Structure 1
Amino acid sequence: MMQEVFVEGFGVSVSKKSERLVVKRKGEVLFERPFFDVERVIVATGGATISAAAIHECVRHGIPLEFLSFSGAPYASLVSPNLGGTVRTRREQLLAYEDRRGVELGKAFAVGKLRNSANVLKYFAKYRKGADRRTYDFLYRRVDRIEELARLVEEIEGSRADEVRGALLNAEGRGAALYWEGVERLVPEFSGREGRGAGDLVNSLLNYGYGILYHRVLSAVTRAGLDPFAGYVHTDRPGKPSLVLDLIEEFRGQVVDRTVLGMLGTGFRVGMDGGMLDEATRKLVAGKVRERLATRIKHRGRRHSLENVIHIQARGVAGFVRDGVLYRPFVGSW
C-alpha cells in the first residue's frame, strides 16, 4: 500500500538513499521506504531540509511535494511538469469560460457546496433528534433554507460565467451564513468563520484541515490535465488557483468539517502554541483528515475512497469541457 509522508518538526531532513526516501531527525531514521511506495510528501514545517536528489526522484516518480505553513495554509507544491495532460483539455477549459459550459460548471460547484453543507448539518442533527430536539429543529430550519438555495441555483440562466457569477456567489454566501449558524449551535465555543490568520481554536483546526485538502484537489486538477488557475466562480487573480478553489467547495464539508466537528464532539482538547496549533495537534488533525480521505463511500454506483472521488470529479470537469460528458457535483451522504 502506498504511503503518505508527513514531515513535521524542526531538525528534520528528507533525502534519497539508493532508491529509497529517507526522513531523519538528528541522525535517527523516522521513515524509510522505496520511492515507488510513496504517494506524496507533505512538509508542514519550516525547519526541514530536502535534498535536490530527493526532489528529483520524487518528480521522476510523480510524487507531489506539498508545503504547508504552521497554520495549515498551502504555500507551494512541486509536481512533475509531465503531469499537465493534453493541450486540448486546457484549450477547451479556457473556451468554456465564454460559453454555457462555464455556467453549468459554476452552477454545479455551487449546488455541490450547498447540498454538502446541508448534509453535514443533517449528519450531526440525526444524533440529536431524541436527546436535544431544540438543536435538531434549529439545524433543520437552516437545512431547509440551504436546500432551497440549491434549488434556486439550479434555475439560474446565463450564456457565460460572468453573467451568473454574482448570483452564484450571493447564493453561496447566504448558504454559508446559514451553515455556520448551525455550526455555532453545535460548537458553542465557535464564534464565527474566519479564514487565514485566525487565532481561535475551531477556525485554526478548520484552516489546517483545508490546507491539507487543498493540495489533494490541486493534485487531482493537475493530473486531470486542467489549468488550476482557470476557474469559473472564483475570479482570476495572479497566484490564485481559481479552479482549485471552485472544486474544493464540494469537499470542504464532507472531508474537513465532519472530521473537525466530530473530533470536537468527542471532547478533543486542542493544544495551542503562540496563537497556532501545537505540533501534536497538527499531527493529530492531519492524521484524522487523512483517515477521512481514505474512507470508502458509494459514488456513481461504486465504492471509492473520498480521495479517489476528488480525482474522479476533476476528471469529470475535464471530460465535460473537452467531450461534453455531463458533470455532476459530488454530494456526500449524511
Structure 2
Amino acid sequence: MHLIVDQFGSFIGKKSERLRVTLKGEVVQEIPFFKLKSVMVIARGVSISSDAIYHCVQQGIPVNFLSYTGKPYARVLSPHLTGTVRTRREQLLAYEDGRGVALGRAFAVGKLSNQANLLKYMAKYRKGRDRELYRDVRDAAIEIQVLCDQLQRLEGERIDDLRAPLMNLEGRGASIYWEMVGRLLRADVHWPGREHRGAQDPVNAALNYGYGILYSQVEGAIILAGLDPYAGFVHVDRPGKPSLVLDLIEEFRQPVVDRTVFGLVNKGVAIELDAQGRLIEETRKLLATKVLDRLEGRERYEGKKHKLRVILHRQAQQIATFVRRERGEYRPFVAGW
C-alpha cells in the first residue's frame, strides 16, 4: 500500500505500529507499517514527525517529496542502503570499458522497443474502426524497430564512442513515436507535440508528472541494488544529475507512465489545470495513484508474470551483477503488447 499525502497542512505521525495522517486534528488516513510500501508527499505545507521518519527508515519505507510538476526534490531513506562499496567501484570502472557500451546500448534498445510495442498495443484497438490509422501506426512501429536493429549493431570500446550515434537513433525513434501518439489520442484532445519542462497542456503536464512519480521509484530500486544513481552511462555526468536513474527509467516510461496517461485521456478522464497551467491537486493525486497502481500490474519477465515494481527492482539488480561481472549480459526490459 502506498500513502499519498496531498493536502496542505497535513501532519504525518506515528501512532503505535501505524503511520497516521491528520489534518486540523482529524485523522485522515492510518496505515499499519507492515502494509506500507512507500510514502509520497505531493502537497506543500506538510510536516512529519521524527518518530514517523525513524520507523519508516527502520522498515525500509521510502518517503518521497514531489513538487507540483512531479519533480522529486527530496527523499528520506536509511544511510546504510548506500554502503555497497564493491558494486560502486565496478560501476565506475564499467564506464571505461565494454560493460558501459553494453549497458548504454541495452537502455536505448529497451526504450525504442517499448515505444514500438506501445504503438502496437494502442493500434490493435483501432484495427476494426480505422484501418488506415492502424496500418500507419503499425508501419511506424516497424520503423522504430528498424532503428532499434541499427542501434544493436553500434560498436565501440567506450560508451563515449557510441553516445552521438546512439542518441541520434533514439531521437529519430522519439520523433516517429510522438507523431503517432498525436494521432492515437482522442480527436478532441489538444496535443501540441511532446513538451518537457514548463508544459502547460494537460497531456504533457500529466506525462511529466507521471515521469516524476516513476523517477522516485527507479531511484529507490537503484539505491537498494547498491548502485550510485549519479553514475550513469548514456546520460552525461553533471553535478546533481542522477544519470543512472535517467538511463534506467527509459525502459519503463512507456509501459508504466505513457500507457497509463494515454488510457486516462482516451477514456475521457479530465486532466485539469489551474489558471497558471499547473495540474490541480485532485489530478495530481489521481495520476500518482494510477501510476503506482500500474506498477502493481503484471508483465511477462524471464518466462513468468511479475509485477512491474518487481521487474524494476530486478533490472536494477541485474545492472549491479553485470558490472560486478557476475552476469554475462544485461537485457533490457521490454513489455508485451
- Normalising by the residue count of structure 1, what TM-score does the alignment of the two structures yield? 0.97
Deviation of 1:258 (Å): 0.5
More off after superposition, 101-110 vs 195-204:
195-204
Q: Distance in 2 between matches of 1:66 and 1:227?
A: 18
Question: Aligned runs of 1:55-204 on 2, under 5 Å?
Answer: 55-187=53-185, 188=187, 189-204=190-205
**C-alpha distance in 2 between matches for 1:208 and 1:54:** 26
Closer, same or farther in 2 for the Cα pair 1:174/1:324, shift >3 Å? farther
Offset at residue 226 of structure 1 (A):
0.3
Distance 2:19 2:319 in 1: 34
Q: Distance in 1 between matches of 2:153 and 2:326?
A: 20
Corresponding position: 1:240 with 2:241: yes
Q: How far has the Cα of 1:20 moved from its partner?
A: 2.2
Aligned residue type for 1:43: V
Query: Does 295-304 or 227-236 show the bigger shift?
Result: 295-304
- Read off the aligned partner of 2:281 and give its amino acid letter: E
TM-score (norm 2): 0.96
- What SS class does the counterpart of residue 327 from structure 1 fall into? coil
Which secondary structure does the structure 1 equivalent of 2:7 belong to? coil
Secondary structure of the 2:47 match is strand
Matching of residues 37-56 of structure 1 within 5 Å: 37-56=35-54
Please give the alpha-carbon distance, in whole angstroms, between the structure 2 residues aligned to 1:311 and 1:123.
24
Residue type of the partner of 1:208?
A: Y
Distance 2:160 2:78 in 1: 33
How many residue pairs get aligned? The number is 332
Q: Deviations over 1:19-63 (max 9, x none)?
A: 321111111111222323221110001121112221122112211
The residue type paired with residue 108 of structure 1 is A
Q: After superposition, where does 1:242-321 map in structure 2 within 5 Å?
A: 242-274=243-275, 275-321=277-323
CA–CA distance in structure 1, aligned partners of residues 198 and 58 of structure 2: 35
Distance 2:50 2:195 in 1: 37
Amino acid at match of 1:319: T
Retained in 2: the 8 A contact 1:90–1:225? yes
User: For the residues of structure 1 that align with 2:295 and 2:35, how far apart are their CA atoms?
Assistant: 18
Tell me the amino acid that sits aligned with residue 135 of structure 1. L
- Cα 1:305–1:85 change in 2 (3 A) is farther
| Secondary structure, counterpart of 1:128 in structure 2 | coil
CA-to-partner distance for each residue in 1:227-275, whole Å, 9 max, x for gaps?
0000000000111000000000000000000011111111112221131
Structure 1 residues without counterparts, runs of 5 or longer: none
1:56-80 deviation digits (Å, cap 9, x = unpaired): 2211221111111111111111211
Identity %: 56
User: RMSD in angstroms over aligned alpha carbons?
Assistant: 1.1
Q: Which amino acid is 2:49 matched to?
A: S
CA deviation vs aligned residue, 1:288-327 (integer Å, no higher than 9, x gap) = 1122110112210122100110001000100100124111
Letter in 2 for 1:296: R
The residue type paired with residue 330 of structure 2 is Y
Runs of at least 4 residues of structure 1 off by over 6 A? none
Paired with 2:57 and 2:173, the residues of 1 have a C-alpha distance of: 40
Amino acid at match of 1:218: E
1:332 aligns with 2:335: yes
8 Å CA contact 1:8, 1:43 repeated in 2? yes
More displaced 10-residue stretch of structure 1: 301-310 or 115-124: 301-310
**DSSP 3-state at the match of 2:154:** coil
**In structure 1, what is the equivalent of residue 223 of structure 2?**
222
Q: CA deviation at 1:85?
A: 4.9
Secondary structure of 1:108's aligned partner: helix
Which residue identity lines up with residue 258 of structure 1 in the other structure?
Answer: R
